[in-house]
Structure 1
Amino acid sequence: MSDPPRAAYLRGNLGSFAADMRRMINAPELSDVKFIVGEEKKVVYAHRCILAYRCEAFSAMFAKQHLSCDAKEAEIPFDLSDVQPEVFLAVVEFLYTNCVMLSSKIALDVLTSAVEYGLDELQKLCVDYINSTLTVESACEALQAAVTYRQTGMKDKCLAFIEGHTKVVLDKPVPEIAKEVVCELRLFLLTPEELTFLEAENKKDNFIAVDKIAEVWKFHALKKPSGIAFHLLRRRKGTRPRDHHKYLNLYHK
């Protein structure tokens, strides 16, 4: 008597599956949740079950709404005014298809959202894209993001790119040449934990002057940004909010 055939796990056409799932992105039909996204208040339609099972942050968001309101109030859209619609749609695309379309315009902001939503695989895709598309114009901002989100490989890539594209004048060391650019980093936006990490990393190459880091620690201690240049306190679009930013916001009102 022959043995029964073994069970087998077989895959269909993943490409067609992803294409079908992509058709559901921002489709009003059969959607059960809405988001009002960005300053332009763009409506984005989605499906709770997909977002919740793919992302713990959305699962917690929906669970909190379910516990705090009745069935009628559950239809109220979620307000996401601090993210660009194209960035949020990129996140949704990844959740639906496990793929994402990135461009230099949105990659850093998508990375920010990936960190905020705890999407490790999307973070990796963003970092790989940013590393492969660095330009003279984008390298400093990418370096800032790498330090903020503790992406060591991305940080090293940015530093190597900056060093490789820095014109050496009178045989001066790169940190001295880059001093004026480094002074424009918005260090005041970092949390104390992030600043501690940056301070430890900075000991390796001394790109950032010690007195600049001390100035940021002074701000954290006093919660008073007086005397600090206005543009160094302004959040970059897509920057993840931190608790201490409320002191910066009050300063600008």
Structure 2
Amino acid sequence: MADPRDALDALDERALAQQLRVPRLVRFATVASTMDEVHALGAAGEPAGACVLADAQAAGRGRGGKTWSSEAGAGLWLSLLERPETASGLDVLSLRLGLAAAPVLEAYAPGPVRLKWPNDLYVAGGKLAGILVEARWHGPQVEWVTIGIGVNLAAPPSVASATSLRAGTRRLDVLRSLVPALRHAAELRGPLSGSERAEYASRDFAVGRRCLEPAPGLVRGITDDGSLIIVTDTGESHFRGGSLVLAEETP
């Protein structure tokens, strides 16, 4: 659980925004979804960097409409607003955000942080954090992007495959490093660079493992456009969407 002496609770919204270097921060005790709140800020014309932080989410979500356990005091649940001038790089944004979050969270994790395509962070085989990216468009032009991340400070007992940061981790310490790192990653454009792919390969949770979805085969890695590479019975295939299900993850 979060450290009861955590300085986060002593700060009002304006002071916390200054600590995290964002133009505006809205904090809730409980909210349906921080993603929905940031989308509302986007529609209202709030600037890039606006942040919503919640102690608990009643309807936290992940990719594909999956639910995310977001109990009070059990984690960091936040979303950020970004306003990219072009859509360049949006297809690899979740991967870049994972690359940015991994070293930050590793400083507080009980072991090395690995990345599971396309948006999960793992420690010692357990899910530590998840990232969600949703864009809103006006025709071909992206109006805003909402970035959500949930980080377990205490592994929810209802989720056997989850893990968490070390006991006593202070939320404010994590947020001070995590939020600027995510914002920097959101500014990057274009496909993944060679160095980004190399960093991803060094943290790849699934490489060399057999998978069942998005197709049965052996995971080989990712391409510069963020596609998952799977070696199947018929050769090498690239997948841009869907979820990665490893053979070992099924009963």
TM over 0.5: no
Q: Work out which of the two has the higher radius of gyration on C-alpha atoms and give 1 or 2.
A: 1
- Could you state the TM-score of these two structures normalised by the residue count of structure 1? 0.26
- TM-score w.r.t. the length of structure 2 is 0.26
More strand per residue: 2
Structure with greater contact order relative to length (CA < 8 Å, sep ≥ 6): 2
